[in-house]
Structure 1
Amino acid sequence: MKCSLALLALLSASAASAQEPARGAPPDAPDPILEGLVQDALTHRPELAQSSTAVEAERERVPQAGAMPDPMFQVGIQNDGFKEIQIGKMETSYLSFMLTQPFFFPGKRGLRGEVARLGADQAEAAVARMRLSVEAEVRRAYLDLLLARDQLALLARTEALWLQSEKAARARYAVGEGAQSDLLRAQLERMRLRQQRLALEAQERTRVQELNRLRHRPLAEPIPTVRRIRDLADPALPPVAEALADAEARTPELAQAQLAQAQAEKRVALARREKLPDFTVSAGVMARGELDPMWQLSLGVTLPVWSGQKQNRAVAESAARARGSAHGEMAVRDLVRLRTEERLALLASARETVKLYRQELLVQSEAMATSTLGQYQTGRIPFASVLDGLNTWLATQGGFLDAVAQLQRLGIAQRELSLEAPGGAGGGMATGPVPGAGGGMGGQKAMGGGASVSQGAPAPAEESGGAATSGGM
Structure 2
Amino acid sequence: MRSLPTFWLMCSWLAAGGAAQSDLPVVWLRELTGELLRANPDVRAARFRYEASLKRPSQVSTLPEPKFTFTDFGVGHPMSRLSVSDFAYLAFGVSQEMPYPGKLALAGEEAHKQAESEGQAWRAAILEKTTELKVVYYDWFYLSKAIEITKKNRDVLGQFEKISRARYSVGKGIQQDILRAQVERSAIEQQLATLDQQRSSVEAKINSLVKRLPDQLLGQPSEVHRTDFSMDLERLLDLVSQNAPRLRARQFEVDSHAVGIERAKKDYRPDFNFSFQWQKTAAMFPDYYMATAEVRLPVFFWRKQRFAAEEASSRLAESRENYQATRQELLFEAKDEYLKIRTSERLLALYESGILPQSSLALESAMTGYQVGNIDFLTLLNNQTAVLTYQMQYYEQLAKHEQALARLEPLAAMELTKP
Shift in Å, 1:16: 2.3
Q: Which amino acid aligns with 1:259?
A: F
- Give 3-state SS (helix, strand or coil) of 2:292's partner: strand
For residues 77 and 5 of structure 1, what CA distance do their matches in structure 2 show? 111
Q: State the match for 1:345 in structure 2.
A: 339
Partner of 1:140: 135
Aligned partner of 1:209: which letter? A
Q: How does 1:148-297 map to 2 (within 5 A)?
A: 148-225=143-220, 227-229=222-224, 232-290=225-283, 291-297=285-291
Query: Shift of residue 79 of structure 1?
Result: 5.2
CA gap 1:415/1:378 in 2 versus in 1, 3 angstroms: same
Structure 1 counterpart of 2:410: 416
Compute the displacement of 1:32 (Å). 7.8
Shift of 1:302: 1.4
Q: Give the Cα separation in 2 of the matches to 1:86 and 1:63.
A: 45
Give the counterpart letter for 2:132 in structure 1: E
User: Aligned-residue CA RMSD in angstroms?
Assistant: 2.7
Distance 2:405 2:260 in 1: 40
CA distance in 2, matches of 1:42, 1:360: 41
Q: Secondary structure at the match of 1:296?
A: strand
Where does residue 103 of structure 2 map in the other structure?
108
Cα shift readout 1:118-160 (whole Å, capped 9, x = no counterpart): 2222222221121112211221222222222211220232123
Q: 1:383 and 1:4, CA in 2 relative to 1: closer, same or farther beyond 3 A? A: farther
Q: Residue 466 of structure 1 corresponds to which residue in structure 2? A: none
Provide the aligned length of Structure 1 versus Structure 2. Answer: 407
CA–CA separation in structure 2 for the residues paired with 1:323 and 1:225? 50
Distance 2:255 2:365 in 1: 69
Q: Partners of 1:70 and 1:156 in 2: how far apart?
A: 74
Q: Does 1:11 align with 2:4?
A: no
TM-score (norm 2): 0.89
Amino acid in the other structure paired with 1:15:
A
Q: Secondary structure at the match of 1:292?
A: coil
Report the Cα offset of residue 82 of structure 1. Answer: 8.6
Task: State the alpha-carbon separation in 2 of the partners of residues 124 and 83 from structure 1.
Answer: 56
- The structure carrying a bigger helix percent of its residues is 2
Which sits farther off after the overlay, 172-181 or 102-111? 172-181
* Alignment partners' CA distance in 2, 1:72 and 1:84: 22
- Quote the Cα distance in structure 2 between the aligned partners of 1:184 and 1:4: 19
Say if 1:233 and 1:32 are closer, same or farther in 2 by CA, change over 3 A.
farther
Mapped to 2, the partners of 1:214 and 1:241 lie a distance apart of 33
Secondary structure, aligned partner of 1:417: helix
In structure 2, what is the Cα distance between the partners aligned to 1:411 and 1:147? 16
Letter in 2 for 1:45: N
What pairs up with 1:442-453 in 2 under 5 angstroms?
none
252-261 or 120-129, which moves further after superposition? 120-129
Q: What residue number does 1:463 align with?
A: none
Matches within 5 A, 1:352-391: 352-391=346-385
**Superposed CA offset, 1:10-41 (max 9, x none):** 32333324499x9xxxxxxxx98110110011
User: Which deviates further from its counterpart, 199-208 or 79-88?
Assistant: 79-88
Per-residue deviation, 1:378: 2.4
Compute the displacement of 1:5 (Å): 6.5
> Shift in Å at residue 352 of structure 1?
0.6
Bigger RCO of structures 1 and 2 (CA < 8 A, at least 6 apart): 2
Query: Separation in 2 of the partners of 1:196 and 1:32?
Result: 25
Equivalent-residue separation in structure 2 for 1:297 and 1:84 (angstroms): 24
Relative to structure 1, is the Cα distance of residues 17 and 364 closer, same or farther in structure 2, using a 3 angstrom cutoff?
closer
> What is the TM-score when the length of structure 1 is the normalising length?
0.79
- The verdict on how the C-alpha distance between 1:83 and 1:238 changes in structure 2, with shifts beyond 3 A counting, is closer
| Distance in structure 2 (CA, Å) of the matches to 1:328 and 1:84 | 63
Query: Which AA in structure 1 matches 2:400?
Result: Q
The AA in structure 2 aligned to 1:150 is K
Contact 1:71 1:99 (8 Å CA) reproduced:
yes
Deviations 1:310-354 (A, max 9, x none): 212222221222123223222222222222112111211111111
Describe the shift of the 1:264–1:380 C-alpha distance in structure 2 as closer, same or farther (beyond 3 A): same
Does the 8 Å contact 2:226/2:401 carry over to 1?
A: no
Structure 1 CA distance, aligned partners of 2:336 and 2:195?
A: 32
1:69 and 2:56 matched: no
Give CA-to-partner distance per residue, 1:83-113, whole Å, 9 cap, x none: 9968346554322222111101111111111
Aligned in 2, Cα 1:100/1:183: closer, same or farther, shift over 3 Å?
Answer: same
Residue 425 of structure 1 corresponds to none
Aligned residue for 1:319?
A: 313
Give 1:426's aligned residue.
none
Q: Verify the 8 A CA contact 2:100 2:272 in the aligned structure 1.
A: yes
Uncovered stretches (5+) of structure 2, i.e. residues with no partner: 413-419
SS of the residue 2:82 aligns to:
coil
Contact preservation (8 Å) 2:345, 2:401: yes
Q: Cα gap change, 1:201/1:129 in structure 2, threshold over 3 Å: closer, same or farther?
A: same
Identity %: 23
Q: What displacement does 1:219 show?
A: 3.7
User: Cα–Cα, structure 1 residues 335 and 247, in superposed 2: closer, same or farther, change >3 Å?
Assistant: same
The answer to whether the Cα contact below 8 Å between 1:237 and 1:344 also exists between their aligned partners in 2 is no
Residue type of the alignment partner of 1:408 = E
